[in-house]
Amino acid sequence: MKKKFNWKKKTAIFIGRFQLFHDGHKKIFLNALKKNKQVAILVMDSYLFKKKNPFKFNFVKKKINIALKNYKSKYTIIKIPAVSEVVYGRSVGYKIRKIKLSKKIENISATQIRKSMKK
């Protein structure tokens, strides 16, 4: 029987537009997965801003699924609105952690990837 994402298990949350999902995103995903065993990928539905975000949610989801095909039971993808702020009131049992990446990975730009696709 194929394992499924476990909604009762502690989970990392990874929020982004993922316009396109690239190696930097994958490295963050893998780092979060190593520590948390599963990840909820929250994809902002930011297609309304087409110039900056040309890909619709279903296309983004498809590309993420292709990139993470070896981790099927370890993540779920959830569509969320275009986030302007993440807030919380007090310590409630979870952490907010920035994952440090190499400069080479941090310099990957989905905008540049999209521009190169148009050539």
For tokens 């009131």, the residue is 89
Is pLDDT of 119 > 80?
Answer: no
85 is a domain residue: yes
Residue-wise pLDDT tens digits, 62-74:
999 999 999 999 9
Determine, yes or no, domain membership for 1: no
With respect to residue 5, please indicate whether it lies within any of the assigned structural domains.
no
Does residue 43 sit in helix, strand or coil? strand
- Give the predicted TM-score (pTM) of the model: 0.85
Ramachandran region, residue 45 (left: φ > 0; alpha: ψ -120 to 50; beta: rest)? beta
Any domain includes 93: yes
Percentage of the chain beyond pLDDT 90 is: 55
| Confidence label for 61 from pLDDT (cuts 50, 70 and 90) | very high
pLDDT at 93 over 90: no
Report the pLDDT averaged over residues 5-14: 94
Mean pLDDT of 34-61: 89
- Would you say residue 111 has pLDDT above 70? yes
Q: Which domain holds residue 35?
A: 12-117
**CATH number, domain at 47?**
3.40.50.620
Residue 40 CB-half CA count within 13 A: 13
Asked if residues 46 and 82 have their Cβ atoms less than 8 Å apart, the reply is yes
> Does 116 score more than 90 pLDDT?
no
Overall number of domains in the chain:
1
